[in-house]
Amino acid sequence: MAVLQIREAINQAIAEEMERDPGVFIMGEEVAQYNGAYKVTQGLWKKYGDKRVIDTPITEAGFAGIGIGAAMTGIGVRPIVEMMTWNFAILAFDQIMNHAAKARYMSSGQFKVPIVFRGPNGPAHMLGAQHSQALESMVAHVPGLIVMTPSTPYDAKGMLKAAIRDDNPVIFMESELMYGIKGEVPDEEYLIPIGKGDIKRDGSDVTIIAWTKMVAVALKAAEELQKEGINAEVIDPRTIRPLDEELILESVRKTNRCVIVEDSWPFASVGTEIAHRIHTKAFDDLDAPVEKINAADIPMPYAENLEHEAMPNAEKVITAVKKVMYR
């Protein structure tokens, strides 16, 4: 097994799928000659050239729509659209929400939209309010979209390959701060199915649910809690929509307590939906209401101390765990 950074694992997934299927191409800002703003597409332009690795103008709505249109024709074209960050993809939300998500339904199934929109999501470090937003709940809100959020190199590769092969629009949300994180990735091919979550740490006392960057926060909290004799299970749904509800409910039925960690805002967040499902479907198993740790309900400030204060961290998770355990 090779040890890869997340950016390398994603790069491999793209390269392998391009190799496998000549209909797969990637476009976005700086993906070709610059090798990607975060070097995710390193070497792809050199290998596949202008036809399949395409630098776009800074026109998110336009190239998102061109991707959707290309995917919809049904003649074997499968675009991967890189969004330099999801903050900028907001410009393309009309294309994604009004067009990609609805084409199949409105046409009563005539269209398929096999496209992946991918890029980093969520706050990084001191980038200020317009560049530090975790937007998964905005896309997860929309029927017709699939939303995936990997947290390890292994997951990123297997999930992205599944996303590229899927016939639906997939929103694939990475993290700037995680691109350098390393992990083992098998040499042989594998796919991680859409909608399949993962237990990142086995435990029995409390379930902590987290995805992308927050998985590391949850694991750190779990380690600290272990020192106090609290054995936390960490669940990573990996796909936000469709949600691996069974995995979550199973864990909560075992632990009877749950804390959700997300770096998005609290109002109408993905965690809100997960908590609701747990409350309605595992109510009798719960020993305490589900707790949620979110980023502060504010646009992200620039100053380092304020940003730190606004973000979820292990201490906050530990406090929440103790709350649901009445400790």
Ligand X SMILES: Cc1ncc(C[n+]2csc(CCOP(=O)(O)OP(=O)(O)O)c2C)c(N)n1
Query: Which of 20, 34, 105, 276 lies at the binding interface for another protein (CB under 8 A)?
Result: 34
Selected range binding another protein among 70-78, 136-144, 235-243, 306-314, rule: CB under 8 A? 306-314
Q: Which does 285 bind (CB under 5 to 8 A by kind): another protein, ligand X, none?
A: none
Per annotation, catalytic residue among 16, 30, 131, 224: 131
By CB under 6 A, name the one of 61, 66, 91, 288 that touches ligand X.
91
Smallest distance from ligand X to CB 34, Å: 10
Q: How far apart are the first and last CA of the chain?
A: 42
319 sits near another protein (criterion: CB under 8 A): no
Q: Does 37 bind another protein (CB under 8 A)?
A: yes
Establish if 268 lies at the interface with another protein (CB under 8 A).
no
Whose Cβ is closer to ligand X: residue 89's or residue 162's? 89
Alpha carbon 108 to chain centroid distance?
Answer: 29
For ligand X, the binding residues in 10-29 under the rule CB under 6 A are: 29
Q: Taking the complex as a whole, how short is the minimal distance between the CB of residue 62 and another protein, in angstroms?
A: 7
Selected binder of another protein within 2, 106, 129, 268 (CB under 8 A): 129
* 156 in Cβ contact with 10 (< 8 Å): yes
265: left (phi over 0), alpha (psi -120 to 50) or beta: beta
- Which listed option, another protein, ligand X, none, makes contact with residue 303 (CB within 5 to 8 Å by class)? another protein
Q: Does 88 bind another protein (CB under 8 A)?
A: yes
Catalytic-labelled residue, pool 8, 60, 176, 262: 60
Cα–Cα distance between 212 and 118 in angstroms, integer? Answer: 14
DSSP 8-state assignment for residue 57: P
Residues 6+ apart with CB under 8 A from 31: 40, 41, 44, 45, 53, 54, 55, 56, 82
In this structure, what token pair is assigned to residue 121? Answer: 């999501």
Q: What is d(CA 263, CA 256) in angstroms, rounded to the nearest whole number?
A: 24
131 included as an active-site residue? yes
Rounded-to-integer distance, Cα 275 and Cα 260, Å: 8
